[in-house]
Every structure is written in C-alpha cells, then in structure tokens.
A and B are shown apart, each in its own frame.
Chain A
C-alpha cells in the first residue's frame, strides 16, 4: 500500500504538469472503489475549475481547485494517478479519467479498487469522514517529541500497532513502521506506555528519518507503485528489515525475523530491537 513517502512522491510528480490546467471533462468506469465514485458530484465540483495546488495529509492526496473545491484521493492498496496523452491506450482497471486543458489526461488506475476519489468543498473537507479521523502527520512542522510521548502514554497497545493507527499518526504503513522501529532499536511488541522519554525521542527521530529517506528515494516500489510520470521509486533497495526475513542484519549480523501482528507481517532484528 502506498504510504506517506509514496503519496508525497506522487504529489510532487503531479505538481509540475497539473497545476494551472483546467478540468475539461470527467469519465468514470462505473465500478465502485472503497466508496462509489460519484461522477455528478465530481463534475459539479471540478468541471471547468483550474488546479491550483497539490498537497498531502497522511496518505491522502488533496488537489485544490480555483473554485475552492478539493479532490481527495487515497490510493488504497494499488491505486495510481498517471498522466497520459488522450490517444494513449488506457491501462486495464482505469476507473476515472480527468481530461485536462492543454491536451493531457490524469487517469486513476486501481486493480484492487480499495482507493477513494471524492470531491469536497473547502468547508466540508476537514469534517469529511476521511480527514476528520486522522491523527498527526509525522512530517508536520509542529509534531514534537512531547506529542509523541503524550500519544504513546495514552495508548495501551504494542508499538507496531500504534504506528499503524492512522488516528494517532497519519501516514505510516507496514514498511516504514518496521523500518522506524528498527532504526529506533525498539521491539515491535513493546508496549507503548512503557516507552520512556529517551526511547520516544529515538522513535521520533527514526520515524522522520525513514519517511524523509523514502521521499528522497521517491518511494518504495515492490509491485504496483509508480509516481504520476510512471517512474518507480528506489527506496526498496535501502530497507534494513522489511522483506528481509532470514537475511543477516546489517548492524549485528543476526537473522531478521518475521512475525505476524494484527494480520500484518512485522520484520525485526532480535539483536538490535529491544
């Protein structure tokens, strides 16, 4: 699933060619994503409007339009937003096509259909069912170690589950949660309220470091993920634990282990993570 760095990379790849163009027409496949794509609602909100900016909140992409309306996109498990020329063949599982001014299309492709594509007015956006439940974005400038301490102390669960909870921290998924815990030297099953200030400070730094590295490497591409220009990321080549079960830890040499937590695979080093 695209996580914060992948969504941020898509946002960055969208800006140069999307901002300044108007939506000329919208086509949809008629198949439902996680929620149905409401074509009339999209048309009312976006037709004729000019894209003015692209931003990200957690794992959500937000495209701001001149009318004050916003297109909210979640890429789900396998969603992609891709630029294409109008005559180009459409990829299978193309569920929405935004025809733009200047002879360009923005296409939403999603084989597994877990994504979200929905228009909101600026006033509705913060109260939307998608954004109203989100926690703090870990790359937000005002996110602090003290906030993380408060959040850890208030939860009663394992660290890995905490990091994946979008209502606490919005943007981390399985890959970057595993990598952050490794970098912080913290075991994935450690209880949140038993993490002291020093460990919380390490975790805070590790979360930001793995996310920023992911963005620098333009995301982690294991299978589906590409940015809006169709380019893969390279972060998969730098991962310390994720997907490396049985391979030696690059720090201590012990074999990386995999356990299942909350129906998700967790990769960790039994030597480095306590």
Chain B
C-alpha cells in the first residue's frame, strides 16, 4: 500500500481503510503545514487550519472522485481555509524574524535550506542573514503573490495545479510568480555581491 498513488489511497479510505488515510496524512502533513504556516504566519493557527483541512478531507471522502490530482484537491481545501482564516483576521500579525518560520521541529528552516553547510564561516553568516531577509521578504509579499511563490517553491507544485488551487488562469499565476520573484530579488540585491565576495 505504501507505493499506492494518493488517488488510490483516497479511494481505499473512501471504502473504509483507515490505514490508507493515515498514509495520506503522513505523506502530506509536513508539506501542507509548511504551506499553511507561511500563509497564516502563526504556528498555532496553522495547526488549527491543518487539522480542519484533513477533517474536510474526511467529510468529503464519500464525494471524492478522481477529477483532479489528490494534491490539487488537498491544497485547494487548505488554501480556502487559509483565505477564510485571513478574512477573519484572527491571529493576524507580522511574521517574527527571530522565530523559526513554522516552529516545526522536523522541517528544515528556510535558513538551513539556503545556507550552505559546507561553506566557510563568513559565507554561512551571510547565508543566515540572507535567509532571514528572504523570510521577511516572503512574509511581506502580497497574499496572492506569496501563496503562489510558496506553492511553487516550497511545495513544488506545477503552475497548472496552482492555477486550479487558487482558481485563476495559469498565465495570471505565472505573472504573479514573476512579480513575487522581482520583489524578492530586490530585497536580496544587497547580498548578491557579498555572497559572491565571501570565501
């Protein structure tokens, strides 16, 4: 069963196999959480939204049809709940630069992804500063650009899937991604020369 596709596991769960549901949760929990926490920018609220996402999957299991990829369906649910949470404005606050992105003890922090473990001390220090700046810059992106950047770069989804999830044309997704990248590039401009100059 471990090698089964998501869609196959969802059908097995629909037919009553709880173990299949657990496999789906295990497979996607971290990635969906990473998407949610970067959207809502609050670890406790992200846990609530993650729970509600999987509870909605359970509730909708009987109606599940293989019309779209399971991940597209899953992220659509998560994204809609994030939008609802943002509308309610509960726990809405600026992202802390000191706190880890998501307080997730398992997930590598963004800082660890960007800093090169094999690099020299100076380079590592620059990497850390740059990662923090990156984190701040992502948090400051407009919601519609941030969600697309996260779905593409963190969750590794295709543009056509992202278009289905956010409910807009693929070209709009691509242009929002382009704007997001431009803003991030501007935010990190000062580090380009430093990073190149460090040993």
Q: Is the CB of B18 within 8 A of A154?
A: no
Q: Is the CB of B54 within 8 A of A154?
A: yes
Q: Name which residue of chain B comes closest to A191, CB basis.
A: B105
* Interface size in chain A (residues, C-beta < 8 A): 18
- Give the contact stretch, choosing among B21-29, B114-122, B152-160, B166-174: B21-29
Q: Is the CB of B58 within 8 A of A154?
A: no
Bound Cα distance A167, B50 (Å): 14
A66 beta carbon closer than 8 Å to chain B: no
* Interface size in chain B (residues, C-beta < 8 A): 20
Report B93 CB to chain A, min CB distance, Å.
Answer: 19
Given contacts A144-B58, A146-B58, contact A197 B18 (CB under 8 A): yes
Given contacts A144-B58, A147-B55, contact A153 B29 (CB under 8 A): yes
Partner of A196, one of B22, B58, B104: B22
Bound Cα distance A271, B185 (Å): 56
- By a CB distance below 8 angstroms, the chain B residues around A26 are none
A33 beta carbon closer than 8 Å to chain B: no
Partner of B58, one of A147, A168, A197, A200: A147
Contact with A along B70-112 (1 / 0, CB 8 A): 0000000000000000000000000000000001110000000
Bound Cα distance A155, B48 (Å): 8
Partner of B21, one of A146, A155, A168, A193: A146
- By a CB distance below 8 angstroms, the chain B residues around A147 are 55, 58
11 A-B pairs within 8 Å (CB atoms) are namely: A146-B18, A147-B55, A149-B21, A150-B55, A151-B55, A153-B25, A153-B50, A153-B54, A154-B51, A155-B47, A197-B18
Bound Cα distance A145, B17 (Å): 11
B19 beta carbon closer than 8 Å to chain A: yes
Q: Name which residue of chain A comes closest to B21, CB basis.
A: A146
Bound Cα distance A150, B29 (Å): 9
B25-78 interface (Cβ within 8 A of A): 25-26, 29, 33, 47-48, 50-51, 54-55, 57-58
A179-237 interface (Cβ within 8 A of B): 193, 196-197, 200-201
Q: Is the CB of B47 within 8 A of A154?
A: yes
Given contacts A153-B29, A156-B104, contact A200 B22 (CB under 8 A): yes
* Interface SS, A side: helix
Bound Cα distance A149, B9 (Å): 15
Q: Is the CB of B54 within 8 A of A156?
A: no
**With contacts A156-B103, A200-B22 known, what are 13 further pairs, Cβ within 8 A?**
A149-B21, A149-B54, A150-B25, A150-B55, A153-B26, A153-B50, A154-B48, A168-B51, A196-B22, A197-B18, A197-B19, A197-B21, A197-B22
Q: Is the CB of A149 within 8 A of B22?
A: yes
B149 beta carbon closer than 8 Å to chain A: no
Report B42 CB to chain A, min CB distance, Å.
Answer: 14
Report B81 CB to chain A, min CB distance, Å.
Answer: 12
Bound Cα distance A144, B22 (Å): 13
Partner of B25, one of A149, A156, A167, A168: A149
7 nearest interchain CB pairs?
A: A150-B54, A154-B51, A197-B22, A154-B50, A153-B25, A197-B19, A146-B21
Q: Is the CB of A149 within 8 A of B18?
A: yes
Bound Cα distance A100, B19 (Å): 53
Q: Most chain-B Cβ atoms within 10 A of its Cβ — which of A154, A167, A196, A200?
A: A154
Q: Is the CB of B105 within 8 A of A154?
A: no
Bound Cα distance A147, B54 (Å): 8
Q: Name which residue of chain B comes closest to A192, CB basis.
A: B47
Q: Name which residue of chain B comes closest to A149, CB basis.
A: B22
B139-190 interface (Cβ within 8 A of A): none
Contact with B along A155-183 (1 / 0, CB 8 A): 11000000000011000000000000000
- By a CB distance below 8 angstroms, the chain B residues around A151 are 51, 55
Q: Is the CB of B105 within 8 A of A156?
A: yes
Report B12 CB to chain A, min CB distance, Å.
Answer: 12
Bound Cα distance A147, B104 (Å): 22
Q: Is the CB of A156 within 8 A of B58?
A: no
Bound Cα distance A36, B103 (Å): 37
Q: Is the CB of B13 within 8 A of A146?
A: yes
Report A154 CB to chain B, min CB distance, Å.
Answer: 4
Bound Cα distance A201, B54 (Å): 17
